[in-house]
Every structure is written in C-alpha cells, then in structure tokens.
Amino acid sequence: MSKPRIAFLGLGIMGGGMARRLITNSFPLAVFNRNSEKSKPFAADGAHVANSPREAAAQADFIISMVADDTAARAMWLGENGALAGAKPGAVCIECSTVTVNWVRELATAATAKNCEFLDAPVTGSKTQAASGELSFIVGGEAVTLEKARPVLATMSKAITHLGLTGSGALLKLINNFVCGVQIASLAEALAMIERSGLDRVKALEILTNGAPGSPLVKAVSGRMTQPEAAPNFLLRLMAKDLGYAIEEGGKLSVELVTATAALEDFQRAIATGHGEKDIAAVIEPFRRS
C-alpha cells in the first residue's frame, strides 16, 4: 500500500528533525515554513515546498504543525491561507506544538467543522530526539483517530501515550515543561552559588549530577551551562512562554504555580539581558558577574 501524504508546517529546531524523519521513511511530504530558507534542504530531498499552509495541506491525509506558540499555530491553521482552508474531508489534523488548552480546543472545533479529525500530540524530547526519531508523543483525542495516525507518529518517536480527550496532551505537556523549567532555573541559581563561592565547579557539578538532584535534564543542561554559547537545543524564550502558559492553566484549576512563577522571573531576566534566542542553559548568564 502507498504511504499517506503528509503536510508538515514548521521547520524549526524540532519540526525540522521530525520532517526529516518522514522523508527518511519515504512518506510523500509537503512542507511550509515562514522562513523559506529553512525549506530549501527539504526540497533538495524531494519534499514539495508549499507557498502557504493551505497549499501544503491540499492533498494531505495528515497535517502536522510544530511551531512556537498559539499565535504561530493560529496563523498556520486558520484564515484564507491556513491549512484548514485547504484540508480535504477526512484529513487528520495533528497539533504538536506546545500551546494552550484553549487553543487546542478551538482548533479541534474548527477541524471538525471542516469534516477533519483532530489530535493534540505534543512531544517530549529535544533536538537530538527529534532528529533520531526518539521523541515521545503525549496525545489527546479520539482513540480511533490515534490509531489512524500511529504509523505516522511512530516514525518520529519511541513512545506514544494516549492520555484521553482533546486537550489532555496539551495540558500534560505544559505540566511537563513547567517542571523542567523549574529544574533549570534552580540549577542556574545553584551554579551561580558555586561559581561565586569559589568552589571547584567540576567537582561540585559531579556531586549534583550524580546524586539525588541529577535528573537527565539537569545532567544535560549543566553541561551546556558550562560551555560558552552552547548551540540551541531549546530556545530560552520558548521556555518562558511555556512557563507562562502553565501558570495560566494552573490558575484555571485553582492551583497557584509558585515555583513556576519564580522560574519564569529567572527566564524573563535572561530575555531582558539579551539571551532569549539562546539555549535554555543561558538562563545562568544574568547571575554571572561580568
């Protein structure tokens, strides 16, 4: 049987790796990215480079979006040139971006109105996992729709977890990222104490990363905090966005995310001092004395 046609919207740090996995596994692929320069390598490998999300979606059986935030996702999906305007009935729309639950539910309603199916399927993992097909999808939506999409998602992942109704995946992704953001902020503060006190940084980090605090995230990010200008795996400004979204969702559930609010202050300080486009590890920089 021929493989389904895929439209992929967004070719950034994560989307680029995911789209590359689809090409490697011989899925017919149309791509769209607002910065067309990022599309050129995909054209060279046989993907159709569309001039709009609508054009990308026109022949697709599955439409996948991986962009920065609600605003970027809305621009991809809605409007005269949005993907839903070109989607054919029966297409499966998959929002993989880290976005709010409200947006996911709005998009699901819009997809249903176009006789399309919908999944919110954000991922855990970063640049390396996207490139190697080892992401983990956390999915909200109908089980029957997930089964249709499973062969496509499996190409990009090591695990697919169905959490429940629409919005479930989006909510857990925000919870996941707020916990990550808190860990990174606390690591930055700890490393600042180590550096200012004159402790042996190498030995101190060995204690932290090999002991109880040493989560996989802490181990990975601590290495990048000690490298000047580490290549971005996850943009710092996007973690600030995720923390803000998580705080908003917590408020709706009458849960005050005190630790997330404190972590957000650290990330906002880093953005204010020019580090927003750098890796999340750069949250340490405002703490460092010049």
Domain final position from 166, 184, 210: 166
Average pLDDT rounded to a whole number, residues 84-107 = 98
Active site residue 148: no
Interatomic CA distance for residues 228 and 130, integer angstroms: 24
Is residue 234 assigned to a domain?
Answer: yes
Answer yes or no: do 188 and 276 share one domain. Answer: yes
| Confidence (pLDDT) at 197 | 96
Answer yes or no: do 162 and 190 share one domain. Answer: no
Amino acid in position 104:
V
User: Structure tokens of 258?
Assistant: 């005190």
Is residue 265 assigned to a domain?
Answer: yes
- Residue 290 confidence (pLDDT) above 60: no
- % pLDDT > 70, the chain: 99
| Confidence (pLDDT) at 228 | 78
CATH code, domain carrying 103: 3.40.50.720
Answer yes or no: do 13 and 146 share one domain. Answer: yes
Answer yes or no: do 48 and 77 share one domain. Answer: yes
Q: Which residues contact 120 (CB under 8 A, 6 or more apart)?
A: 94, 95, 104, 108, 139, 140, 141, 166, 167, 168, 169, 170
Average pLDDT rounded to a whole number, residues 103-122 = 98
Is residue 60 assigned to a domain?
Answer: yes
Find the angle CA(132)-CA(32)-CA(25) to the nearest 5 degrees. 35
Distances (CA, A) of 160 to 66, 180, 215, 221, 231: 17, 20, 22, 25, 28
Provide the whole-model pTM.
Answer: 0.96
Q: Within 10 Å of residue 179's Cβ, how many Cβ atoms?
A: 16
The H or E element containing residue 120 is: strand 117-120
Average pLDDT rounded to a whole number, residues 98-124 = 98
CATH code, domain carrying 176: 1.10.1040.10
User: Structure tokens of 265?
Assistant: 């202050």
Cβ-contact 25, 49 below 8 angstroms:
no
| Confidence (pLDDT) at 243 | 98
| Confidence (pLDDT) at 231 | 87
Instruction: Name the catalytic one among 173, 203, 219, 278.
Output: 173
pLDDT (tens digit, 9 = 90+) per residue, 151-187?
A: 999 999 999 999 999 999 999 999 999 999 999 999 9
Is residue 61 assigned to a domain?
Answer: yes
The confidence band for 17, taking pLDDT boundaries of 50, 70 and 90, is very high
Answer yes or no: do 62 and 148 share one domain. Answer: yes
Answer yes or no: do 63 and 128 share one domain. Answer: yes
Interatomic CA distance for residues 33 and 65, integer angstroms: 10
Domain final position from 166, 201, 231: 166
| Confidence (pLDDT) at 229 | 80
Answer yes or no: do 73 and 18 share one domain. Answer: yes
The confidence band for 274, taking pLDDT boundaries of 50, 70 and 90, is very high
Mean pLDDT of the chain: 97
Answer yes or no: do 129 and 245 share one domain. Answer: no
- % pLDDT > 90, the chain: 97
The total number of structural domains in the chain stands at 2
What is the DSSP code string of 150-176?
HHHHHTTEEEEEEEESTTHHHHHHHHH
Q: How far, in whole angstroms, is CA 55 from its chain's centroid?
A: 24
| Confidence (pLDDT) at 110 | 98
Answer yes or no: do 79 and 38 share one domain. Answer: yes
Interatomic CA distance for residues 92 and 122, integer angstroms: 15
Answer yes or no: do 231 and 278 share one domain. Answer: yes
Range of the domain at 69: 6-166
Domain final position from 147, 166, 185: 166
- Residue 230 confidence (pLDDT) above 80: no
Is residue 54 assigned to a domain?
Answer: yes
- Residue 285 confidence (pLDDT) above 90: yes
Is residue 1 assigned to a domain?
Answer: no
Cβ-contact 115, 90 below 8 angstroms:
yes
Answer yes or no: do 212 and 267 share one domain. Answer: yes
pLDDT (tens digit, 9 = 90+) per residue, 114-130?
A: 999 999 999 999 999 99
How long is the chain?
290
- Residue 1 confidence (pLDDT) above 70: no
Answer yes or no: do 154 and 198 share one domain. Answer: no
Interatomic CA distance for residues 201 and 254, integer angstroms: 40
Closest CA to 13 of 277, 224, 284, 226: 277
User: How close are the terminal C-alpha atoms of the chain, in Å?
Assistant: 61
pLDDT (tens digit, 9 = 90+) per residue, 32-75?
A: 999 989 999 999 999 999 999 999 999 999 999 999 999 999 99
Average pLDDT rounded to a whole number, residues 262-279 = 97
